[in-house]
């Protein structure tokens, strides 16, 4: 039953460590939208750690809002990054532009795409957990 939350936890840890690696080791400064996505991702890793350690089946209710907001920002960032939305609508001010191409692995894997994938996987894992625990009575929680 805990596999979906454990998977979400692994994804959040990889995303957190990856973003720190990009900024602290590779010295790639994050843009404004990347910061907003970090604000959503970092607490998810902590909340899932505490929830899994305490076997708390209610922990997804605390992760859902952060994951959905992070996913919405990631979708917006990708639309901006791939020129679907004009940069004039970007919240980016001083500093790194949200459309700067800092990394492109295999020609299409970018930092915004990695963030989108991370939040999508976490939302998917939360939905999986919800589907697996839907039939459990509240008394059993």
* Domains located in the chain, CATH noted: 3-135 (1.20.1550)
Q: Is the pLDDT of residue 16 over 60?
A: yes
pLDDT-derived band of residue 81, with 50, 70 and 90 as boundaries? confident
**Model pLDDT, residue 99:** 66
**Model pLDDT, residue 92:** 64
Half-sphere exposure (CA, 13 Å, Cβ side) for 129? Answer: 24
Q: Is the pLDDT of residue 9 over 60?
A: yes
Taking the model in full, what pTM does it have?
0.85
Alpha carbon distances (Å) from 11 to 41, 53, 120: 10, 17, 10
Mean pLDDT value across residues 69-86: 89
């Amino acid at each position: 039953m805990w596999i979906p939350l454990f998977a979400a936890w692994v994804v959040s840890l990889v995303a957190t460590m990856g973003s720190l690696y990009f900024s602290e080791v590779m010295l790639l400064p994050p843009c404004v939208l990347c910061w907003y996505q970090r604000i959503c991702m970092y607490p998810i890793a902590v909340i899932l750690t505490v929830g899994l350690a305490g076997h708390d089946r209610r922990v997804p209710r605390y992760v859902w809002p952060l994951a959905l907001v992070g996913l919405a920002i990631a979708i917006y960032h990708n639309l901006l990054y791939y020129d679907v939305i004009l940069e004039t609508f970007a919240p980016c001010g001083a500093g790194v532009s949200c459309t700067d191409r800092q990394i492109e692995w295999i020609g299409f894997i970018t930092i915004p795409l990695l963030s989108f994938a991370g939040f999508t996987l976490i939302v998917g894992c939360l939905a999986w957990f919800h589907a697996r625990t839907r039939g459990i009575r509240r008394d059993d929680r």
